[in-house]
Amino acid sequence: MKNSVLKGALAALAVVGVAAVVKKAAQRKRFVKGIFEEYRIKEKSPFGLADKIREMNDEQYQELKGKFKKEFASRCRHRGFERKENVAEA
């Protein structure tokens, strides 16, 4: 009896985990699709994005780079990583 309850709980937890991953992937896909539409990139591939970046001036590139950093930045804040960044800057 205990074993089947445990299996059921683990299965429910796995379903929730898969749903969270699918939701995050859909959000990121919408973000990238929005970038392609905003910058009028016809070729929906990394090569099309690279071609558009080559055409951009520095200000446009920094704006695009900031958008990607904001969207894809890790939400994990480890103290060890912060120290490594500070050491790298020095």
pLDDT for residue 26 is more than 60? yes
What's the CA gap between 6 and 10, in Å, rounded? 6
Segment 4-12 shows an average pLDDT of 90
pLDDT over 70 percentage in the chain = 81
pLDDT over 90 percentage in the chain = 37
Where does the pLDDT of residue 3 fall: very low under 50, low under 70, confident under 90, or very high at 90 and above? confident
Helices H / strands E in the chain, number of each: 4, 0
